[in-house]
Each structure stands twice: as structure tokens, then as C-alpha cells.
Structure 1
Amino acid sequence: MNTSPMRICIAGAGAIGCTLAARLAASGQAVNVLARGTTLASIQRDGIQLSDLDGEHRVRVNASDDPRAFGEQDLVLLCTKAPALAQLLPQIQPLIGADTVVVPVINGVPWWYFHGQEGRFSGQRVKAVDPQGLLTDALDLRHVLGCVVFITAHCPTPGVALANNPHLMIFGEPDNRLSQRLERVRALMESAGIEARATDRIRDNLWTKIIANITSNPLSVITGATLEQLYSLPELRALVSASLHETLLTAAAHGARVSIDPQTFLELGAGMGPVRTSMLQDYDKGRPLELAAIGDAVLELAEHMAIAMPITRNLIALARFRGDQARH
């Protein structure tokens, strides 16, 4: 396996991007960060600061808004919101060489979901997240390594990230092979102090995160509730449970094995504490909501299997209404 230093670029300097950049740079890696605007200016001036369970990390990185400044990379981590991918993927072409590994660190159903799968949906695209095929056309899917990230973080100011829960990342090839590049990326993240796992069933873990997102994010926008409130208050927990069971049925229909039982899922959610979901944070700031990837795409996969998701569908509709109202 190749053990030479990796050329690493993090595209997107939000909470997750800054967390990963700080951990990787603190472990001795030379990190490039693709950012823009006030965030870019802040990182160029002050570097990146991360406060997590291991303490305070202050690092310097090479930051630019022009990917040509970095050249071809070995590893590109896409740390943006799903709606930004259509604009981002064409921009990162200067970073992509013949063997570049691209890891989308995004929420919801990824556009590559059916890539590498056998069966009747093989090669199809998820229309909710890639309606015109722009994502599929912009990046050869052989570069993609699947990822599920369990990191809760937020940026109180640009270039500064707070992450007060353990970091976990799970990686897997879309075709479920246990490849050398999979192990190399896993080992890299582990060396940066992040719990990192490799799996030959990445979609199982995807569905675990999809369930966490779809049962919490839309309802948090509707109610303003934290994770602790969503998963523990009886009047909210009932809605969460209904959506949870609808999504579990859809996951099972697509062949996924979710290892966490519903009761444990609710307990884990409540144990996250007074955390505001990423979608609620976006709502508060008047930003677009990730409802296509987190919500609509799940409904689309349910429709493939003729599964009705009435509770979840209504929660998504209400969250979309709230989001639209806040932006107009």
C-alpha cells in the first residue's frame, strides 16, 4: 500500500470542513482548503481553530478560492451542503488526477447511491439530488469513495469550529470492495485522531445516518427543538418514531441492514444533548435547506419500492414551507 504523504484538499470550510482540516493539519498533514469570501479571508489571516473533546487545535493551512493554486490532489474531501455540489464539482476539476480519490462528506442520500450496485436500479441516478444529471456528468464516479460522517460541529465565526461529541467516519467503496485506497483513507483519518472504520456495506451505514437526519432535521425546523427535545419529549418523540419506522421499512426494502433498533436509536438521539441540527442552523441563518438530499431523495427511494411514507412526507412539506417563508 502507498504510504507516501498525501496531497489533501478540503473543499468547503464550514463546520465539518474546518474540523477535518484542523485534525489533519494537527497530525502533520499538509492541508489545502478551498474556501471563499469572509471564511477564506479569516483562514488566510488566522488559520483554523477547532475546539473538540481532545482540546484546542490551532493550525495553519494553505487556503485559496482557486483550485488551480493546489494542482492535482490524492484526496479531495467535499465538505459542502448537498445543494452546493452542482456548482462545486465543475470547479474542482483542476484537483482531479487519474488516481484522485473524492470523498463526498455530505448529508442525505448521495447522488452516487446506485453506482456500483447490481440489480434493477444499477446505474440509475437519484433524481431528487441530481435531477438533470449534472453531478453524474461532472465527476467520473470511479473517483468516488463513500463516506458517512458522524461529527456534530458548528462554526460560531468563520474558520472556528466547535465539536463537542466524538468524531466517527465510516468509509466504503460504492461497489463494496475492500480496496487499498479505502484502507489508506481510513488509516489517514485514524492517524488524525478520528475514529475511522472501513466497511464492505457502506449503504447500511448510510441508512443509519439518513434515518438520523430525516427523523430530526425537518421536525427541528418546524419546532425549533434540539436533538434532546426531539428524541425525548413525548409529543415530538411520537412523530420521530413514526418517521423512523417508515424510513426503516424503506431501508430494508433496498437491502440495507440497520444495526440499531428503534428504541436504542431514540435513546442515542436524546443523548446527543441540546444540539441544534444543521438544518435548523441553516434555517436560522436564512440559508437553503438540504431537504432534497435529506428528505425528497428518501421519498424517491420509497416510491421505487411502492412504500408510502405519509408522516415523513408531511414533515418534509412543513419544513419546506417554513424554510420558504423564512427566505421571502
Structure 2
Amino acid sequence: MSTRPWPPQDPDGPQRVLVAGAGAIGCTLAARLAAAGHAVDLLARGATLQALQAHGLQLEDLDGHWIAPVRPVDAATLAALPPGQAYDLVLLASKSQDLPALAAQLGGAIGPHTLVLPLVNGVPFWYFQGTGGRFEGRRVQAVDPEGTLLARLPAAQLIGSVVFVTAEATAPGRVRSTTPHLLMLGELQPDPEGRLSPRLQALCRLLQDAGIQARGLPRLRDKLWTKLIANLTSNPLSVVTGATLADIYADPVLLETVRSVMFEAMLVAAAHGARLEIDPIEFLRLGAGMGAVRTSMLQDFERGRPLELAAIGDALVELARLYELPMPATQTLLAQTRWHAQRREGALRRRAA
């Protein structure tokens, strides 16, 4: 897989950036990039778009309070972009299930030299791009069922990411983040000698200069599997039980499920060639040490929002089936989670009627 030169302008100068998705993480990164002097457009809609137009974007993080000079745009603005006005960098910051629809709104935002950085949870749609072997180029059906993402987002222009940014929208256009903004980045096709491409190094510098801890990795999928296992063992179980991370990873009753799911996922990771850094005992200890944290999936469940089960759960089961590996504990947990989500959805419909 060839890589395109980037950035097309002065590597040390301001870049034209589109952050597509005005959720908490998208707003956090947009604010930091704009404060660093880049020309940042933020794709938004509804109440968030109106709030950004009226009051701008405000971020409170470990470095203080930022009122960021971003330009809010809607899908119609992107669709009307004239030729030659594509962005230098596009960040896709949405829930995984919303990404196909988001990609369809980008219009002329992505040109031949645009670098595209998807920031999503779970198994990414690009997982099999650049891997080589018998699964090279395969579509992950659970997250890209129609092939929309692979068709619209050129693999040669993608940089993969594992996101360790936590943020909360306190109101439309207002975000609070109380942890460092950490991104792990990597080319989809690893260099056999472990070198980082010039464009990956340039992107890391750009983000670091904006106060975002961007670390380039020669084998990004190894780190991705660590987060996949963390998400799989915590998010669905939090919906089923209502438990915090401290309880999920320490309560003896819940630990039985956690261990079963963890070992199933570790076997799948090994089958796909991942070099895991996970010590299972230390993994559980660190999880319990996170304290009374409610997962993002539990928060979505309580607010009646769709859950990212396809990317966090179904896609991992899909990868297991490629090696005929059973995942009974995982599939049972996912089924229980869906039962709770459907029951919650029904209750919300009755309440609204």
C-alpha cells in the first residue's frame, strides 16, 4: 500500500482541518487544533450547530479554559465545496455506527492529498487493509456492512488510531476533559523494519504542537487489541449490571464473566498475529484501579442512545469466526446486553407515547 506525501503545504505552517463530528471528543480535538493556529472547520448539526454559531466552541481541560476559533459547518457546506478546496486533514469523530452516514456527507472535503484520521471505538473498518496474507483487503461486515467506508475513504490516505481521550459534553458546544489527550497512531501497512513514515511523523508533530499527545507506533494493531479487550470486557457488562469499572474488575461474581470474555478475546488476538502486552492479572488490577467510572456504553444506554455493540462485540466475533474460534461467553454477554437495550428502548417509547 503506497502512501501519499503529506502535508501538501508547509509542514510547519497552519493546515486546513475538518473535524467531522461535534461530539465530546471531536470538539476537544477541534478546540486544541484551532487554538494552535490551524484553520479548523467543525461539522455539526442541530442544537450543537446552533450553539457553535451563536457562542463558539468552549473547552475546559487540564491546561485551562479555551474559547476556540473554529468555523461550524453543515453537510450542505461540504457538499458545495468547489474543486481544489479539499482539506489537508480530516478527523472522523463519530460513533462507529454513524460513520457510514458521516462519510457520505463529506462531499469534496477529501481530495487526493487529504490525510484522513478515523477516531472510532471497536474493530475499525480498515482493519484488514495493509495486513497482507489471506485476509488482505477484506471488509469487516459488522462495521461496514455495505462497503461504504472502504469505497469512500481511500485506504492509502488513512492513518489508523487508537483513542485514549475522555471528554464529556456539558452543553451543546461546551466540553470538559479531565485527562491527557492521548492518541496512538500508525500506518495501516506496518513498515517491516519498524520505521515510522514521514507523513505519520509530521501528523504526530502537528497534534503534539496542539497539546495532543500523539504517539506513532510501527504496529498499531497490537495496541488496538489491548483496547478492544478492555472495551469488550467492560462496556457490555456495564449495561447488563449497571456496574462501574471498579466493580466489573474486582467483584468476584462479575470477574467470572470478565475472565471468560478476556481469554476468548486474547485467543482471537493471537490468531490474528497481535503481540499482546497484556498480563491478565495486571489487566484486572488496573481496571479495578480506574475507580467508580461508568463506561461510555452505560451512559449511552441510560440516555436511550444506540450502543456500539457492532464494533465492540459483533466485529470481534466476526474475526473469531475467520479462525473457527468459539466465543460462547462473549456471545452470551452480547445477547444479554441487547436484551437490556431493547427493553430500555421499549420503555422510552411507552413513556413518549
* RMSD (Å), alpha carbons: 1.6
> In the alignment, what sits opposite 1:170?
184
> In the alignment, what sits opposite 2:99?
85
Residue 109 in structure 1 maps to residue 123 in structure 2:
yes
> In the alignment, what sits opposite 1:67?
78
Residue 3 in structure 1 maps to residue 21 in structure 2:
no
> In the alignment, what sits opposite 2:156?
142
Residues 130 and 189 in structure 2, CA contact (< 8 A), matched pair in contact too: yes
Q: Distance in 2 between matches of 1:209 and 1:14?
A: 20
> In the alignment, what sits opposite 2:318?
300
Q: Distance in 2 between matches of 1:252 and 1:20?
A: 33
State the shift of 1:96 in Å. 0.6
> In the alignment, what sits opposite 1:41?
50
What percentage of residue pairs aligned between the two structures are identical?
A: 52
Residue 191 in structure 1 maps to residue 209 in structure 2:
yes
Seen in structure 2, the aligned counterparts of structure 1 residues 224 and 69 have a Cα distance that, compared at 3 Å, is farther
1:128 is paired with a residue of what secondary structure?
A: coil
State the shift of 1:69 in Å. 6.7
> In the alignment, what sits opposite 2:225?
207
Seen in structure 2, the aligned counterparts of structure 1 residues 138 and 227 have a Cα distance that, compared at 3 Å, is same
> Structure 2 length as normaliser, TM-score?
0.89
2:135 is paired with a residue of what secondary structure?
A: coil
State the shift of 1:213 in Å. 0.9
Residue 269 in structure 1 maps to residue 287 in structure 2:
yes
> In the alignment, what sits opposite 2:336?
318
Question: Which amino acid is 1:36 matched to?
Answer: R
State the shift of 1:153 in Å. 1.7
State the shift of 1:9 in Å. 0.8
Deviations 1:44-90 (A, max 9, x none): 22222222222322223101113247741011000000111111112
State the shift of 1:138 in Å. 2.1
Name whichever of 85-94 and 43-52 sits farther off.
43-52
Q: Distance in 1 between matches of 2:216 and 2:279?
A: 22
Q: Distance in 2 between matches of 1:183 and 1:46?
A: 35
Q: Distance in 1 between matches of 2:287 and 2:265?
A: 16
Seen in structure 2, the aligned counterparts of structure 1 residues 7 and 23 have a Cα distance that, compared at 3 Å, is same
Q: Distance in 1 between matches of 2:48 and 2:321?
A: 40
State the shift of 1:212 in Å. 1.3
State the shift of 1:132 in Å. 2.1
In the alignment, structure 1 segments of 5+ residues that lack a partner are none
> In the alignment, what sits opposite 1:232?
250
Deviations 1:266-319 (A, max 9, x none): 222223232221111211111111111110000010111121111111111111
Residue 94 in structure 1 maps to residue 108 in structure 2:
yes
Q: Give the number of the structure whose alpha-carbon radius of gyration is greater.
A: 2
2:214 is paired with a residue of what secondary structure?
A: strand
1:43 is paired with a residue of what secondary structure?
A: helix
Q: Distance in 1 between matches of 2:231 and 2:147?
A: 24
Name whichever of 69-78 and 138-147 sits farther off.
69-78
Residue 130 in structure 1 maps to residue 144 in structure 2:
yes
Name whichever of 318-327 and 45-54 sits farther off.
45-54
Q: Distance in 1 between matches of 2:80 and 2:70?
A: 13
Name whichever of 53-62 and 144-153 sits farther off.
53-62
Question: Which amino acid is 2:172 matched to?
Answer: P
State the shift of 1:30 in Å. 2.3
> In the alignment, what sits opposite 2:24?
15
> In the alignment, what sits opposite 1:57?
66
> In the alignment, what sits opposite 2:171?
157
Seen in structure 2, the aligned counterparts of structure 1 residues 50 and 235 have a Cα distance that, compared at 3 Å, is farther
Q: Distance in 1 between matches of 2:279 and 2:33?
A: 33
Q: Distance in 1 between matches of 2:322 and 2:178?
A: 38
> In the alignment, what sits opposite 2:133?
119
2:120 is paired with a residue of what secondary structure?
A: coil
Residues 123 and 312 in structure 2, CA contact (< 8 A), matched pair in contact too: yes
1:33 is paired with a residue of what secondary structure?
A: strand
Residues 14 and 37 in structure 2, CA contact (< 8 A), matched pair in contact too: no
Q: Distance in 1 between matches of 2:172 and 2:290?
A: 24
Deviations 1:11-63 (A, max 9, x none): 00111101111222222222110010001111122222222222322223101
Residues 40 and 71 in structure 2, CA contact (< 8 A), matched pair in contact too: yes
Q: Distance in 2 between matches of 1:69 and 1:30?
A: 18
> Structure 1 length as normaliser, TM-score?
0.95
